[in-house]
Amino acid sequence: MNPDANDLQDRIAALALGIASDEDRAMLEELALADPSISREIEAARAAVDVMAHDVPVCEPPPELRARLLAEVRPVASVIPLSSARDRVAGDPNRRRWAWPAVAAVLAMLVVGLVGWNLTLRGDTAPGDPDVASVAVAATASAPGATGRVVIVKDGTLAVVTLDGLPAAGPGEGHELWVLRAGVPTSAGFLRPLPGGAFVGVATDLDGVDQVAVTIEPRGNTAAPTGAPLVAANI
Amino acid sequence: MVTRDGRMGLRRTGRPAENLADEDLIRLVGDGDEDAFALLYDRHSVAAYSLAVRMLGDRESAEDVVQDAFLAVYRSARTYTPGRASVRSWLLAMVRNRGIDRIRTARAITRRQQRLESEAAVAQSRDTQAVAMERAIGSDVRSRLDDLPGEQAAALKLAYYGGFSHSEIAQFLEVPVGTVKGRIRLGLHGLRARVGEPGGGE
């Protein structure tokens, strides 16, 4: 494709405004690599468009937004000392071990399907649902590409964790979901892989749970985390 | 402050935080420094929120978009490339992209309703589209865009604040697609003349 001057400017304008087609975007990126003058044109168009981002009436965000945002990123730091929690757990012989009876597993599979399907249909609309809350997970340095959400049924009966971009577990290992009560982790079982590389896990009985986290663990380990946290979220 | 690497962050840089450039802060954010992140938020949240309110028209949606954008900054700080765009432009692009996603999702829902519901709903959804268009164009505050000829400013506002495509704008303004493209091209040219070449805008 060799667009004439006006046509090229139209496409550059669309690119800068973020309304270019994928095809045009790819074509312009290719042209910019080959021709510095086109690269400069794109840069100039973007600089002009940037003005529009600032050309708006000033609105102060509410203070709660700052607090909410910082609370969302905080789990990364606060979950780091899982090892100290592990020590506390090791010294507590009365700690209830997580059991994963067959009935619960079947229930979880059903719930994963239903909730996942429901969320897919609704998109990211959980915040508007009075019965369901949705929290983004925070990735740690051990899994910088990890993203995902925790969807929590507000009566505390269920949390569904969906994650993408987790590092691969080694042979005999899996991604284990932990719920934390005042820093004490309890296994909520291993995540299940989904087609496309995503993972899903379900935690039930959220009474007193304030955080969730995921680590890579040897299969069969449900006592306490031994790996570094990959992601975490305050719930 | 413990970072994602277990290292100490902003308070150990030895420089007053307010003296750090955005590029320094974003590097610290990449290491999981919450203080650096908070400082970036304090510097840019008003611009981010103002843009989101302008695009979406309601504060609740704007809060969601700003929150998502800042979280994306936190998670992808290590991918930031100095020289491609300023941290502020990078952040505002994230706000804008998320705003457009939200607007387009709302439009897609409206279109789905059109297919599923009655004639009355069709009429109502057309109104919704028109309201979105008018919101994109309208503003009580005089802006630099208003120095442009009105039809150019309108086309630019619809594209930028509303994320409308050439053909959608053409339909709304009842002009050919080629006319819309021309107005956007000339409008952008006019804006460029007002802000100067790259680097001279702010």
- The pLDDT tens digits of the residues spanning A83-126 come to 433 343 333 433 333 333 333 343 444 445 444 444 443 444 34
Closest among B32, B44, B37 to B88, alpha carbons compared: B44
> Domain check: are A112 and A48 in the same one?
no
The number of beta carbons lying within 10 Å of the beta carbon of residue B12 is 11
Of the residues A51, A68, A164, the best mutation for testing chain B's interface (the one with the most B CB atoms within 10 Å of its CB) is: A51
> Domain check: are A83 and A194 in the same one?
yes
> Domain check: are A165 and A205 in the same one?
yes
B38 vs B109 pLDDT, higher one: B38
Which of 41-100 (A) contact B at CB < 8 A? 43-62, 65-66, 68-70, 72-74, 76-77, 80
> Domain check: are B104 and B174 in the same one?
no
> Domain check: are A165 and A115 in the same one?
yes
> Domain check: are A209 and A188 in the same one?
yes
**Mean residue pLDDT across chain B:** 78
Tell me if residue B148 falls in helix, strand or coil.
Answer: coil
How close B195 gets to chain A, by Cα (Å)?
7
pLDDT computed for residue B124 by the predictor: 53
> Domain check: are A67 and A165 in the same one?
yes
For residue B96, name the pLDDT band (cuts at 50, 70, 90).
very high
The number of beta carbons lying within 10 Å of the beta carbon of residue B123 is 11
> Domain check: are B88 and B133 in the same one?
no
Instruction: Tell me the C-alpha distance between A160 and A177, whole Å.
Output: 10
Among B99, B116, B133, the domain-final residue is: B116
Among B61, B90, B116, the domain-final residue is: B116
DSSP alpha helices (H): ranges in A123-195? none
> Domain check: are A44 and A74 in the same one?
no
> Domain check: are A40 and A97 in the same one?
no
Which residue range(s) make up the domain with A21?
A: 5-54
> Domain check: are B82 and B166 in the same one?
no
Two structure tokens written together for A225: 């985390």
- Give the burial class of B21: count Cβ atoms within 10 A of its Cβ; 0-12 exposed, 13-18 middle, 19 or more buried: exposed
Residues of chain A with Cβ-Cβ distance to B161 below 8 Å are 52
Q: Please say if the pLDDT value at position B87 is more than 80.
A: yes
Which residue range(s) make up the domain with B107?
A: 1-116
- Kindly report the CATH number assigned to the domain that includes residue B148: 1.10.10.10
Q: Please state the φ and ψ torsions of residue A20, each to the nearest 5 degrees.
A: -75, 150
- Give the burial class of A38: count Cβ atoms within 10 A of its Cβ; 0-12 exposed, 13-18 middle, 19 or more buried: middle
Max mean pLDDT among A211-215, A218-222, B37-41, B136-140 falls in B37-41
Task: Quote the DSSP letter at residue A25.
Answer: H
> Domain check: are A26 and A93 in the same one?
no
- Digit-by-digit pLDDT tens for chain A (235 residues) are 445 888 999 999 999 988 888 899 999 999 999 999 999 999 889 888 888 888 888 889 999 999 988 888 865 444 444 443 334 333 343 333 333 333 334 344 444 544 444 444 344 434 445 577 788 888 877 788 888 888 887 777 788 898 988 998 888 889 999 988 877 888 899 998 887 788 988 888 888 888 888 988 888 877 788 888 888 888 7
Residues B9 and B3 sit within 8 Å (Cβ to Cβ): yes
- Kindly report the CATH number assigned to the domain that includes residue B30: 1.10.1740.10
Two structure tokens written together for A160: 């569904």
